[in-house]
Structure 1
Amino acid sequence: MAVDMVRLLELASWRAFDVDEAGRVLAGSDESGSTQLVELSPNGGATALTALSGAVTGRYLPGERAAIIQHDTGGNERGQLSLMRLDRRRTRPAELDDLQPLVRDPRYVHRLLDVLPGRLVYATNRRNGVDFDVVIRSALTGEEIVVYDGGGMVQEAAASPDSHYLALTLPGERPMSDQVLLVDTMPTTDGERLRVLTGPGEHTRNTHVRWLPDDSGLVVSSNADRDRVGVARIDPRTGDRTWLVTSEEHDLLGWLAPDGNSLLVQANDDGAGRLALHDARTGRLRREVPLPGDGWCAFPLPSPVWSPDSRLVALSFSAPDVPGDVLVLDVEQDDPPLAMTGSAAALAGERLVTPSVHRVPTPDGEQVPCFAYRPEDPTGSSVLIIHGGPEGQSVRTFNPIVQALAAQGHTVLVPNVRGSTGYGKRWYSADDGRKRLDSVRDLAALHDWLPSLGLDPARSALWGGSYGGYMVLAGLAFQPERWAAGVDIVGISSLVTFLENTSPYRRAHREREYGSLAADAEFLREASPLTHVDAISAPLFVIHGANDPRVPLSEAEQLATAVRRGGVECELLVFDDEGHGLAKRANRLDAYPRALAFLTRHLI
């Protein structure tokens, strides 16, 4: 049976945000059209919890039948925090007025970082609109303590079991680097409140930080002095590292159980997530964790989350033929994870394509990882889909755009050009700063490779969102003879105006990667598609959200105006209730079929 675009876009997917000791999972489902909270019970029941206007995430409040909910409006990413009591009978999912306000000021961003018994830890930029302070708030009384106000874009926070310390991660001075700080939440009058565990100048990723239960150490995923990410223990007194699990072939991520005995480790195997359980004290492998297919169980999905008693792990799983499901692993049993949802059932009888894995050679001797989705009846046309970030990775998950393009006969290539994560520090650093256009040259290498798959180079298009949108525009501007069309979704048209107009709290964060307006303005201007817009000759389809706080709508508007001035076809779709991408199914059902029809018109 043929796969149609509308059916693919209407498929519901699931993700796991939290799990309690009773085996209940606080899950997200987009069945309503945007991600809303649903509680899944061990007996198979599902209770819809929220019906808000925007996408929702949440965590259980430990020790209580309650959840902390983070929500925004229209995709503006200005998160607000509310409390929902789960022990009260409800006749319908909660709307905004049904929730108890905790932290609400729509002028600013508030992000939930951690949950503690009766309290929550969150980051907020309400002090100056730029820097993120870290606050511990009582969910009962509303009392707040600001425990960090040292500046920067705080990314993670992990409270020690006795709540005496918080481990924070902030961006370091170099691209794709994280500094680990230790904050004493109860300092004496002459005590040291802030301790630096890793230096700001280290070229090191430090993520997924968790405490051992006796406060004797932190477990962190890190690539300190390594190319590949491994899992290490850090002494909070000295900052010394002891490696627990490492690999010379794969990046690893680790999630420590609350009791400190078990460590769930994911190996990034060329875009597939392989899971295993290890002893958290020694790093010794206990057993592999089989998954339903060749898919992914973490980023870009929510990370695995342990139950407070360390018995269960809730997983978010997706594969090329699985839209997205919640799995629960019982670490005390040898059984595979139990599927709490069955998103693939709606695809019964339909033929979906799965990827083959390739390495595409470049003129300078590199090899670009690439997934190829080949249709049953190829037309000879192709579409390259480039991920955002740039510090991101295309992985082997379900993508309705890929499947719909393949159903129309297009071969879909999904590369991880230089700058992508998942292939070591050297690869994700290969596009930093003034090496930006090296990643664009990877597009040319991919184009040169098309005939080896029997594809027509004259009928190839680019598709990408966010930084992937920049890559689409850069490909059309710097390689106009190669590409027949482009679809740009919330993309950057000028690195200069992007940095000038993005949200202030993001500017310094992004200048680490792209270069600064003060020192690199001329290079940024030269690397911008808008500077070379007169070279663009391929038709364009542009999609943008009016509330985008990352890449402002002005990036799309100035591009469309300039392209049309040159007599080139450019359709611009703007959605007033969206931000950085299309979070609502109704808008996806409007935009994506039109974008596919646009490509078919120019490629077939």
Structure 2
Amino acid sequence: MKFPSSALLLFVLTGCATAQHTPPATRDSIEHRAQALRGVYSDHAPTLTHDGRRLVFTSTRSGLSQLYIADVDTPDVAPRQLLSWPEAVSGPLVTWDDTAVIFSADQGGDEQARFYRADMKTGQARCLTPEPLNRDAPLLPESASDQLFYSARTIDSAASAIYVASAVSPGPERKLYQSPGAGSLVDVNQDGTRGLFIRFLTHQNQELELVDLESGQARKLFPQQGNAAITYATFSPDGRALYVATDAGGEGAGVLALDARTGAELARYREQQPPTAAPEVVTVSRQGDVVVATFDAGDHTVMRVLDAHDLRPRSKVDLPLGVVEAGGFSDDGQSFALCTATAEHPCTLQLLSTRTGAIRPLRSEKQEALSSLPPIEASITPIESFDGLRIPTNVFRPKKQGRVPVILFLHGGPAGASKVGWNPSRRLFLSEGYAVVEPNIRGSGGFGRTYEAADDGPKRWDSFRDIEAVRAWAERQPWADAQRLIIMGGSYGGFLVLSEISRSPGKWRAAVDLFGIADFISFMATTKGGVRENYLHEIGDPEKDRDLLTRLSPINAADAIRTPLFVYTGANDPRVPLAQSRLIVDALKRRGVPVEFMVGANEGHGVARRENQVEMDTRVMRFLEAQLGSPPAAQSAASSHR
């Protein structure tokens, strides 16, 4: 399949490492395999209708995240696509009378989401909020079901506000509360008179505010002293209590029940498996008797079902090692919708019994492309760094004998984490005979406050030494071809890639930078809103810490780079602007270093459209083959016939 020229902007290629050196048959087979893997869809955001009969969710079945509806009792019947939208959609939020779905969509990945209301029967949709704003997920209180409440900000500012708009028809939105800084509205009570607002101070320090939505007055509820990371909070159905997902200022995470008037602690649950997990989401049933919470354990997710009164575990949830996405309760509180993904299977919809902890699938369609994939081995391995710190590392290998090239992948964030979940690009690499190593170097989230803060400011250099330790470990493995090491990463991970190939230019055969930061000084001058606010605290201030940011910036060491580099960026990326990628591409072009540049049209900070995903996967694979020789899978097949 060939894509129209409008799908992608032209790329720049210099040096001898050109994709056209790959034989045509190989090029076609790579594209075919990439298409097959990207055709494996994932389902997300499961929402049960209030009558309990239907399930509304988003899915990438069509190649772009869209809305679907299915009957709960017939998981083998194909779902109905509610509407065909030109952009990726998120949500959904089912109205209380089960007649409509409210969803969000931006334009070309610009992160200025608008809210739309789609009729559940016809799929006819209308825009409720036409003005461009960086909006968070909307909330629809039961006793004020004609109103949408949400937080938002302009795209170039971190200062957030709470708004209300009609949930029925287009109209003006009204500002109810203005925060002096970044933050988000996470819940409103049933009559829409009070809201819970998490105010962002730093990446490890947030405050929970109770906002009177009628007067616009706010007061701090938690923490009453000290610092705490807070990711989510929700009212009990009667509005008298709050449930807060937080680390309470300690190394691990849990759920606190607080008095909604005074903030006094009523009950506490602390996660112990592992004790360093980070808070994620907490949800309470409509009856107010059950709480479901998820925790970020760094390389995987854990889910707990708790009694709402004392926060003791109510039922055990057995989930495979992977990623769990919380959906929502059924109206009777007996069931909870969720998604699970593993290294070998994409995100699928499940239904949890809150009484027994048993899980059953909500969809049972088979994806034939999965059955044809070769087997893999996945493990989590701690790797000792220079100072004795153990770096949790996800290791994925083809299940075959012999030495294989290794891709070391670095996540974004900086306080993100690589998880043992479904990743079609990773699965393509494994199918082609590469091993993939994903270290969660110091600074990664989900491994405790101390670990997450271990790369802040001047300590950033220690995280670079973690990468060196993982690379040295990979070189020693009996299954690794130490002469064919590739480094790859996205966003902040892309910055790490550029930093590594400038600091250790002879260690890598090839590199892949996905929308990475090349120059922190110009990045901080052009990125906007909450992203800039986060980097100010975690990386440094361009005024106060200019020397540090200058030394960190790979563009200032670009003359040392000789590793062939593939660069991808989205044309509309509001987080790491396209100019960052162009800086490094132009610098390497001037020196004749092999570099290939791809810009995804109608894309933001990532790759949302299947045609762009296939094109990127195909071109990355061709690029690597041009640097490493024939495909690893082909080499293995040839050696097995000798």
Checking the alignment, whether the CA contact within 8 Å between 1:175 and 1:432 is kept in structure 2 is: no
Residues 350 and 171 of structure 1, relative CA distance in 2, 3 Å threshold: same
**Aligned equivalent of 1:47:** 80
Is the partner of 1:475 in helix, strand or coil? helix
Is the partner of 2:606 in helix, strand or coil? coil
Q: Paired residue for 2:175, among 142, 146, 149?
A: 146
**Aligned equivalent of 1:136:** 164
- 1:479 and 2:513 equivalent? no
Is the partner of 2:214 in helix, strand or coil? coil
- 1:323 and 2:351 equivalent? no
CA positional deviation for 1:127:
10
- 1:25 and 2:84 equivalent? no
- What is the letter of the counterpart of residue 68 of structure 1? I
Query: How many residue pairs end up in the alignment?
Result: 584
Spell out the pairing of 1:209-358 with structure 2 (5 A cutoff). 209-248=233-272, 249-250=274-275, 251=277, 253=280, 254-269=282-297, 271-291=299-319, 293-298=320-325, 303-332=326-355, 335-342=358-365, 344=367, 346-358=369-381
Is the partner of 1:274 in helix, strand or coil? strand
Q: Paired residue for 2:395, among 358, 367, 372?
A: 372
**Aligned equivalent of 1:186:** 214
Residues 120 and 341 of structure 1, relative CA distance in 2, 3 Å threshold: farther
Residues 202 and 62 of structure 1, relative CA distance in 2, 3 Å threshold: farther
**Aligned equivalent of 2:562:** 537
**Aligned equivalent of 2:127:** 101
- What is the letter of the counterpart of residue 39 of structure 1? I
Residues 85 and 151 of structure 1, relative CA distance in 2, 3 Å threshold: farther
Describe the superposition over 1:352-406 as per-residue Cα deviations: whole angstroms up to 9, x where unpaired. Answer: 4241110010011111100111113443321011111112111111111222212
Describe the superposition over 1:266-294 as per-residue Cα deviations: whole angstroms up to 9, x where unpaired. Answer: 35556233333221111222221233x33
Is the partner of 1:70 in helix, strand or coil? strand
Pairwise CA RMSD of aligned residues? 2.4
Q: Paired residue for 2:97, among 63, 66, 81?
A: 63
Residues 170 and 603 of structure 1, relative CA distance in 2, 3 Å threshold: farther
Is the partner of 1:263 in helix, strand or coil? strand
Spell out the pairing of 1:448-487 with structure 2 (5 A cutoff). 448-454=472-478, 455-487=480-512
- 1:79 and 2:113 equivalent? yes
Q: Which moved more, 1:391-400 or 1:309-318?
A: 309-318
CA distance in 2, matches of 1:400, 1:493: 26
Gaps of 5+ in 2: 1-29, 630-642
Is the partner of 2:199 in helix, strand or coil? strand
**Aligned equivalent of 2:382:** 359
Residues 581 and 184 of structure 1, relative CA distance in 2, 3 Å threshold: same
Q: Paired residue for 1:567, among 575, 579, 592?
A: 592
Describe the superposition over 1:467-486 as per-residue Cα deviations: whole angstroms up to 9, x where unpaired. Answer: 11111111111222322211
CA distance in 2, matches of 1:479, 1:214: 59
Is the partner of 1:512 in helix, strand or coil? helix
Describe the superposition over 1:175-206 as per-residue Cα deviations: whole angstroms up to 9, x where unpaired. Answer: 3322211101134xxxx821012369954211
**Aligned equivalent of 2:468:** 444
Spell out the pairing of 1:428-439 with structure 2 (5 A cutoff). 428-439=452-463
CA positional deviation for 1:128:
7.9
CA distance in 2, matches of 1:177, 1:388: 20
Is the partner of 1:169 in helix, strand or coil? strand
Checking the alignment, whether the CA contact within 8 Å between 1:542 and 1:570 is kept in structure 2 is: yes
Residues 402 and 170 of structure 1, relative CA distance in 2, 3 Å threshold: same
- What is the letter of the counterpart of residue 406 of structure 2? S
| Residue identity (%) | 27
Spell out the pairing of 1:3-22 with structure 2 (5 A cutoff). 4-21=33-50, 22=52
Describe the superposition over 1:235-289 as per-residue Cα deviations: whole angstroms up to 9, x where unpaired. Answer: 3333334552213433254332232211223355562333332211112222212
Residues 344 and 37 of structure 1, relative CA distance in 2, 3 Å threshold: same
Describe the superposition over 1:532-588 as per-residue Cα deviations: whole angstroms up to 9, x where unpaired. Answer: 111111010001111001100000001100112222111100122111111000001
CA positional deviation for 1:16:
2.2
CA positional deviation for 1:339:
3.1
Residues 343 and 556 of structure 1, relative CA distance in 2, 3 Å threshold: farther
Is the partner of 1:317 in helix, strand or coil? strand
- 1:161 and 2:185 equivalent? no
**Aligned equivalent of 2:640:** none
Checking the alignment, whether the CA contact within 8 Å between 1:266 and 1:273 is kept in structure 2 is: yes
Q: Which moved more, 1:581-590 or 1:129-138?
A: 129-138
Checking the alignment, whether the CA contact within 8 Å between 1:112 and 1:120 is kept in structure 2 is: no
**Aligned equivalent of 1:425:** 449
Is the partner of 1:591 in helix, strand or coil? helix
CA distance in 2, matches of 1:186, 1:278: 33
Gaps of 5+ in 1: none
- What is the letter of the counterpart of residue 26 of structure 1? V
CA distance in 1, matches of 2:176, 2:257: 24
- What is the letter of the counterpart of residue 372 of structure 1? V
Checking the alignment, whether the CA contact within 8 Å between 1:490 and 1:544 is kept in structure 2 is: yes
Is the partner of 2:56 in helix, strand or coil? strand
Which structure exhibits the higher relative contact order, with contacts defined as CA atoms closer than 8 Å and separated by 6 or more residues?
2
Residues 200 and 380 of structure 1, relative CA distance in 2, 3 Å threshold: farther
Checking the alignment, whether the CA contact within 8 Å between 2:408 and 2:436 is kept in structure 1 is: yes
CA distance in 2, matches of 1:129, 1:270: 29
Checking the alignment, whether the CA contact within 8 Å between 1:485 and 1:540 is kept in structure 2 is: yes
Checking the alignment, whether the CA contact within 8 Å between 2:476 and 2:482 is kept in structure 1 is: no
Residues 23 and 226 of structure 1, relative CA distance in 2, 3 Å threshold: farther
Residues 553 and 282 of structure 1, relative CA distance in 2, 3 Å threshold: same
Describe the superposition over 1:56-100 as per-residue Cα deviations: whole angstroms up to 9, x where unpaired. Answer: 0121122341111100111111111111121x4x3xxx5xxx422
